[in-house]
Amino acid sequence: MTNTCSKGLTRRALLGAFAATTVVSAPTYSNAFGLLRGAGDIRRIRMYSGRTGESIDMIYWIEGNYIPDALKEITLFMRDWRNNKTIGIDNRTVDIMTAAHNLMGTSEPYMLLSGYRSPETNAMLRSRSSGVARNSLHLRGQAADLRLQSRSVNQMARAASACAAGGVGRYSSSDFVHMDCGAVRNWGR
């Protein structure tokens, strides 16, 4: 038996192979590190963007450790699609999104409507709508506006609120939920 190693094998490919074989059988524990229920030993985020046509389905946390390359990809995916500007997305926001997704028991990816917003984009949106905050957590990479076709705004908001880890806004008329890692609070209907 020979032991060979492909030069094309990267850390990411190895982690992907590991994750693909373990994600189905991996246990999920309630209150992982006492922070978020439903996050589990392996955290996986699934999203797509109708604005850019991109999608992401990746494990970004294994056994208590964030995967830096995965977080960089999440940051790029959640960029301001209007001008391609980025800011580091707060890991806590991704954890809240993931925990809420797991609590809803769906494999459907989130549709990302808005992640990071540059100051220019936020100002433009504020000029068009009174519902856009001047100091929005989107400006800091700490918020996301999300939609699921298989779940109602109320179902999504209840799951995010159950995490008790940040702000949850219901925007029923626009069919999306805002999740952030700021102070625990709820608004909208």
**Distance between CA atoms of residues 174 and 86, nearest Å:** 25
- Residue 36: the pLDDT is 52
pLDDT at residue 56, rounded to an integer: 97
Instruction: Establish if 4 belongs to a structural domain.
Output: no
User: How many Å is the maximal CA-CA distance in the chain?
Assistant: 68
* Residue 142 phi, psi (nearest 5): -115, 20
pLDDT at residue 154, rounded to an integer:
96
Q: Give first-to-last CA distance, the chain, whole Å.
A: 64
Cα–Cα distance, 44 to 128 (Å, whole number) = 35
Are 23 and 44 within 8 A, CB to CB?
A: yes
Is residue 57 within 8 Å of 20, Cβ to Cβ? no
Write out the chain's pLDDT in tens, 189 residues. 443 333 444 444 434 444 433 333 333 333 333 445 455 589 999 999 989 999 999 999 998 899 999 999 999 999 999 999 999 999 999 999 999 999 999 999 999 999 999 999 999 988 888 778 888 999 999 999 999 999 999 999 999 999 999 999 999 999 999 999 999 999 998
Give the pLDDT of residue 24: 35
Q: Is residue 52 a part of any domain in this protein?
A: yes
Strand spans (E) along 75-148: 110-114, 143-147
For residue 75, give the CATH number of its domain: 3.30.1380.10
Q: Mark residue 53 as left, alpha or beta (left: phi above 0; alpha: psi -120 to 50; beta: remaining).
A: left
Q: Quick check: is 99 in a domain? A: yes
Q: Are 179 and 96 in contact (CB under 8 A)?
A: yes
Distance CA 64, CA 38 (A): 14
In a domain, 68, yes or no: yes
The torsion angle over the Cα atoms of residues 146, 150, 152 and 154, rounded to 10 degrees, is -80
Number of domains forming the structure of the chain: 1
Closest to 27 measured CA to CA, from 40, 44, 46:
40
The predicted pLDDT at position 138 comes to 96
What tokens does 44 get? Answer: 């996986």
Contact 47, 84 (CB under 8 A): no
Per the structure, the complete domain to which residue 83 belongs is given by 11-188
In a domain, 48, yes or no: yes
Q: Can you give the pLDDT at residue 87? A: 96
| DSSP 8-state symbol, 174 | G
